[in-house]
Amino acid sequence: MIYNIHHLHCGSLSPFWAPFFGQKGLVAELVCHCLLLETDQGLVLVDTGIGIQDYLHPRKRLGTLLTKLGTIQQKLSLSALAQIQKLGFKGSEVKHILLTHLAFDHAGGISDFPDATVHVLSTEYEATKHLTYKNKYRYKPEQFKEHRHWNFLEPHFGDSWFNFQKVLGFNLFQDEIMMIPLPGATAGHCGIAIAFQDRWLLFCGDAYYSHLELNPKKKMRALKLTESTLAEDNQLRIKTLEQIQQLSHQHPEIEIICSHDPEELNRYLAMT
């Protein structure tokens, strides 16, 4: 049973040249949009954003390049733990963490919740053990290497969910919360589908970066270049995006959001 959904602002990044991220101007504004679910099985965190230890020890946790670029806003109050405490909860109340993937701006807060069980596709975790040139900037194993509680899910398809399929074997929430493979962006990229108040919400992680991409007629060449460069498998990424666009067109009642679009996050924060 899901009682409430909170939208959290768990990090801000300011990379250079905004058109590469679907925005106007020189410097882009990217957020780390995470979700906190109040359920009958305790609190469930969807992605963790940038963690407290990332802010306190950036060079050790994130490496020299990311630290020197200085695109991360140094603000402890944007950690998931601080956001959760601001809502009146304790970090120990977070029992489960569902991850879209293990990139540094999605997995940094894992270490702030040492007793939570982290659910992630096994292919995603394996990718962090064999870092390619591209992935060594995406994954920072220092963030989660000490974590003890994991549930590695195999990327096997189960029953259909609209024009997607859910991950087989993830049954904790009787299909009120489902993990939906959204391949391409990373080796084991996954979306999170949530049923709440007779509606569905699909959290897409990095399957797209701007809400404008939900319209297939919108041509965003610079953003397309960024996404294709970052993608583990660009053809799969394109196919996944087309499926998301189809879902958005055929089922406008479904709320579809991604991780880094500030307009999507502000839409929810304005309601609170």
Instruction: Sketch the domain layout of the chain as residue ranges.
Output: 2-269
pLDDT tens, position by position, 25-41: 999 999 999 999 999 99
Could you name the CATH architecture of 2-269? 4-Layer Sandwich (3.60)
pLDDT at 134: 83
Q: What is the pLDDT of residue 66?
A: 82
Task: List pLDDT tens digits, range 97-144.
Answer: 999 999 999 999 999 999 999 999 999 999 999 898 889 999 999 999
Residues 6 or more apart in contact with residue 157 via CB below 8 angstroms? 165, 166, 167, 168, 181
**pLDDT value at residue 70:** 65
Residues of the chain with pLDDT under 50: none
